[in-house]
Chains A and B, each alone.
Chain A
Amino acid sequence: MSLLSLKNVTRRFGSLSALSNISMEVPQGELRAVIGPNGAGKTTLFNLISGFFPPSEGELLFDGQSVKGVPPEKLVHRGMIRTFQITEIFLDLSVYENLEIAVETAHGLNLRPWLSPARRRQVRAHIDELMQTLHLEDLAYRMAGELAHGDQRVVEIAIALAREPRLLLLDEPTAGMGDEETDRMTDLIRHLHQERGITMLFIEHDMSIIFNVADRITVLDNGHLLAEGTPAEISANADVQAAYLGAAR
């Protein structure tokens, strides 16, 4: 069964149809990229899936249940979490403290004014494990605000991972990154997908990443679903080529 499925989803803003009649299925464990020229509706699709606003028409299912109209803070508890195009982390806290708050939240400890030593160790172990997975150990005691942009994005992904999401939504994970940082992020995404089997959906502009790591690609154009398929199928698709060349011209 699909983890995420959209059935004939339309989203209108006034008279503008930002998304028209989109249907897509993301199976468990898949790494799916969403691409499209500017204004194609990628961000609208993302905001819609992550609960910022409901579809005007159509059905949105997560794990077989309708999540139409469920706000983002509730979706988190069902296992869907997103990152933002503009990195949202705690800039004035250290990397360790960023992960600490994420892990404590994931374990549902926020109301506790006191932790037993055993629980403290458990939290600490989870933080250490996250820092190891994402290679953040050396940055643990640095203020998040002092980090390079690429490292901040990794911290944001670490925060999201603390909740052990079933579906991770990444909004342009490599936006504004240099080549080296982009490579690192690509490796990280591939690692999370392959080693941890996390289902991921991401918007991306950088074609090299998409064709490198994505299992399948969904192409949007002007609010419509233009094509869907494996990287090989998409790169051979005449409609997609036309849309991109058209957009370039």
Chain B
Amino acid sequence: MNATTIQDKTSTLGGSRAGMSSVDLPRLAAALVIWALLLSAPFWLPLVGGYTVLGTRVLIFALVTLGLNLLLGFTGGLSFGHAAYFGLGAYGTGLMLKFVTASTPLAILVGVLVGGLAATLLGPITVRRKGIYFAMITIAIGQMFYFIAVRWNSLTGGEDGLTGFARTNVHFGGWTLDLHNPTNFYYFTLFFFAIGCFVVWMVLRSPLGHTFVAIRENPKRLRFLGLPIGVYIWIAFAISGFVAALAGSLYALLNNFTSPEDMNWILSGDFVIICVLGGMRTFWGPLVGSVIYVVVQDYLSSITVNWMSFIGAIFVLSVLFFPWGLLGFFQGRFKK
């Protein structure tokens, strides 16, 4: 996949988006190949030793990290707390299905709103600080939700997690989408992943996205152009929170289960690792990172419980040899 996604970097860092022609062929080709692979995944995954649910997991991790990367890779805000919004989406959806409604779409909507609004409301607190302090506050706020989930036994099931809900079929008029079928649920997830991609892609090529990148590059310059940059970091934080909540909601539906671990800062750290592995400054980096993360986890966790140490080793090697992630590395080499 790497060889086909070589041109991404220019879209946000280089001149291609400024080109006279609005069509950038290598980028377009890369996107087409990626979408073709994603659309056909249930057919080829078994041929390479995978299974459909593995593909769904990749999509969900790719979705949350795509959103996170808007903040991390493009705006330059290191958050170690996005699992909180992911987990709020998961609990919101799970609790809705368990106690309120049998409608999966409604449960998703509530999950997204709960997680997204939490990020939106808490954003102003975090964006007041920069750098390491920003990261610390995101952890603190994230852990607050984690401990609520652990302690509030009667509602959340505490450390055992929330069980007793299951995704339901979706009805459009007279037509029913059977979500119990893993392949159908894969495409259901892919649909939301596509929405997430479209939103992030739109933002990145708009003045809003240009502003995000400019904040990462030189906040001082931007401030002296008269912009209140905190507001824009907040917006990036909120968007990434909504996307994380959507992913968390889908994750609860995939597993018919959610637990405090889905909110823990360790998972937040994994999200950051995925972005860095794949390439923080690239659009498709989070997807590439998610493929590596989910596949390594799936393969190694059946061999050893210490699979995370392998992810750690890969992460260290990646930072040493590919500081801009796999995609960043290949793009850089191609450009020279």
Contacts and interface: CB of A to CB of B under 8 A. Distances in A.
Contact of A114 (B202, B210, B223): B202
B206 A113 contact: yes
Contact of A93 (B13, B203, B225): B13
A76 B221 contact: no
A159 interface: yes
A111 interface: yes
Contact of B224 (A73, A92, A104): A73
A89 B208 CA distance: 18
Given A74-B226, A93-B213, A159-B221, A141 B15 contact: yes
Contact of A101 (B19, B214, B235): B214
A115 B207 CA distance: 8
Interface in A94-108: 94, 96-97, 100-102, 104-106
A72 interface: yes
Contact of A73 (B14, B210, B228, B232): B228
A105 B226 CA distance: 8
Contact of A112 (B207, B213, B222, B226): B207
Contacts of A101: 210-211, 213-214, 222, 225
Nearest to A162: B225
Contacts of A113: 202-203, 206, 208-209
Given A101-B211, A110-B211, A112-B206, A163 B225 contact: yes
Interface residues of B, number: 29
Given A90-B218, A93-B13, A94-B14, A105 B225 contact: yes
Nearest to B208: A113
B217 interface: yes
Interface in B144-178: none
B13 A81 contact: no
A77 B223 CA distance: 12
Given A90-B217, A92-B13, A82 B224 contact: yes
A111 to B, nearest CB: 6
A190 to B, nearest CB: 25
Contacts of B29: none
A141 B14 contact: yes
A113 B70 CA distance: 13
Given A76-B225, A101-B214, A159-B225, A109 B18 contact: no
B100 interface: no
B220 interface: yes
Interface in A135-159: 140-143, 159
B226 A77 contact: yes
Nearest to B218: A90
B227 interface: yes
A141 B24 CA distance: 15
B220 A88 contact: yes
Place the interface of chain A in its size category: 35 or more
Interface string A58-99: 000000000000001110110001100000111111101100
Contacts of B217: 90-93
Contacts of B207: 104, 109-112, 115
Nearest to A74: B226
Interface in B111-166: none
Contacts of B224: 72-73, 76, 81-82, 88
Contacts of A102: 225
A91 B228 CA distance: 21
A92 B213 CA distance: 10
Contacts of A112: 206-208
Nearest to B203: A113
B67 to A, nearest CB: 14
A76 B213 CA distance: 21
Nearest to B216: A92
Interface in B190-212: 202-203, 206-211
A242 to B, nearest CB: 37
Contacts of B19: 141
A113 B199 CA distance: 9
Contact of B206 (A97, A105, A115): A115
A110 B221 contact: no
B227 A105 contact: yes
B202 A89 contact: no
27 contacts: A73-B223, A73-B226, A73-B227, A73-B228, A76-B226, A77-B226, A81-B225, A82-B224, A88-B218, A90-B217, A93-B217, A94-B14, A101-B213, A101-B222, A104-B207, A104-B210, A105-B211, A112-B208, A114-B206, A115-B206, A115-B207, A141-B14, A142-B15, A143-B14, A159-B221, A163-B225, A163-B226
Given A91-B217, A101-B211, A140-B15, 16 more contacts: A73-B223, A73-B226, A73-B227, A74-B226, A88-B224, A90-B217, A93-B217, A97-B15, A97-B17, A101-B225, A105-B222, A105-B226, A110-B227, A111-B207, A112-B208, A113-B209
The 3 tightest CB contacts between A and B, nearest first, are A76-B226, A141-B15, A96-B18
Interface of A: 72-74, 76-77, 81-82, 88-94, 96-97, 100-102, 104-106, 109-115, 140-143, 159, 163
